[in-house]
């Protein structure tokens, strides 16, 4: 496994991040434990979760991770643990978003479920337009002083949200954000307009979620009719709309002698500011494919061909002004 710093921080994380959203949804507890054990065996030290992950009730995923930590074997010490807050955890006022009150309560609740006394990376799952950044950073500063969190990150932010957050943090002499978690893949490249440039300028590491765009970049055409996983809703519409491009993509991957999913992950690892794509294996075996992507080197010619199939964006405003 390869490692890199998370943004401008001194924290070293694996180039793949283990996403846990499937735990308790499509992956049962024994398999979830096996996936986490195998991730460590492969050198993946970066795990991502959220307080709202879990079925049938929110918080179950964090609880399972806590139970896994409790088995010992330095599982917690070997893990860079990231979780998130924002979504409502109940139907009473102040049980969601980013008020100082909810940050305090949500963090303590996550720590209890995770059976740990600190979180390495505490992420804002969404922008809270109703809470000023002075309040947010004051609450986070208190949590840092208490030793409950080490770093702060964002998720699904626009470029100007990052800029505003960092400006207020600098005024308070606070570190601010060290990472941004965004949807980013060969198909969905909107973040190239302003989010990636902002992240690079402010020293944030990008943690892409949905790196295979819901499976569409994982060899979906080859698997049609034989996969147990069925596309529904917008995924079907996207496949129908992009079928010619995906056909070109899968044919090009065959020319390269590489699996489409490996190429999609490897492409992300070649992009500026990207720290670690989030992989969400439903079984331990799915980790093997992701591991191959880290070692896969794509030539400049290959990167140009992929850009031709799935055109990206120039940095704003050049993308639409010149």
The burial of 320, by beta-carbon neighbours within 10 Å (0-12 exposed, 13-18 middle, 19 or more buried), is given as exposed
**Cα–Cα distance measured from residue 136 to residue 165, given in angstroms and rounded to the nearest whole number:** 9
Return the beta strands (E) in 66-117 as ranges: 80-85
Q: In which element (H, E) is residue 178 found?
A: strand 177-183
Bridge partners of 23? Answer: 27
Give me the active site residues, please.
53
Question: Could you give the CA distance from residue 71 to residue 229 in angstroms, rounded to a whole number?
Answer: 32
Angle in degrees, CA 283, 287, 288, rounded to 5: 120
* 8 Å CB contact between 33 and 3: no
Strand ranges across the sheet with 278-279: 205-209, 177-183, 149-155, 119-124, 80-85, 46-48, 17-19, 278-279
């Amino acid at each position: 496994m390869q490692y890199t710093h998370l943004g401008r921080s001194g924290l070293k994380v694996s180039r793949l991040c283990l996403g846990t959203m499937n735990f308790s949804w499509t992956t049962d507890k024994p398999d979830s434990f096996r996936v986490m054990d195998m991730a460590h065996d492969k050198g993946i030290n970066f795990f991502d979760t959220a307080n709202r992950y879990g079925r049938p009730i929110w918080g179950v995923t964090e609880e399972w991770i806590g139970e896994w930590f409790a088995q010992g074997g330095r599982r917690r010490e070997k893990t860079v643990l990231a979780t998130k807050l924002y979504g409502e955890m109940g139907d009473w006022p102040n049980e969601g978003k980013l008020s100082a009150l909810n940050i305090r309560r949500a963090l303590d609740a996550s720590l209890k479920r995770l059976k740990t006394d600190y979180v390495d990376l505490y992420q804002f799952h969404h922008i809270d337009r109703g809470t000023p950044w002075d309040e947010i950073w004051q609450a986070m500063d208190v949590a840092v002083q208490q030793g409950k969190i080490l770093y702060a990150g964002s998720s699904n932010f626009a470029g100007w949200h990052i800029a505003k957050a960092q400006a207020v943090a600098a005024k308070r002499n606070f570190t601010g954000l060290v990472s941004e978690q965004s949807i980013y893949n060969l198909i969905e490249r909107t973040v190239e307009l302003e989010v990636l440039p902002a992240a690079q300028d402010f020293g944030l590491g990008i943690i892409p979620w949905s790196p295979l765009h819901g499976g569409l970049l994982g060899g979906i055409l080859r698997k049609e009719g034989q996969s147990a996983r069925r596309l529904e809703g917008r995924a079907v519409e996207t496949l129908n709309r992009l079928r010619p491009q995906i056909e070109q993509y899968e044919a090009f991957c065959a020319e390269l002698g590489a699996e489409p999913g490996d190429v999609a992950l490897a492409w992300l690892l070649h992009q500026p500011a990207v720290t670690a794509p989030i992989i969400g294996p439903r079984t331990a075996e799915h980790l093997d494919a992701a591991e191959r992507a880290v070692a896969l080197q794509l030539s400049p010619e290959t990167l140009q061909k992929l850009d031709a199939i799935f055109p990206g964006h120039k940095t704003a405003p050049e993308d639409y002004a010149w």
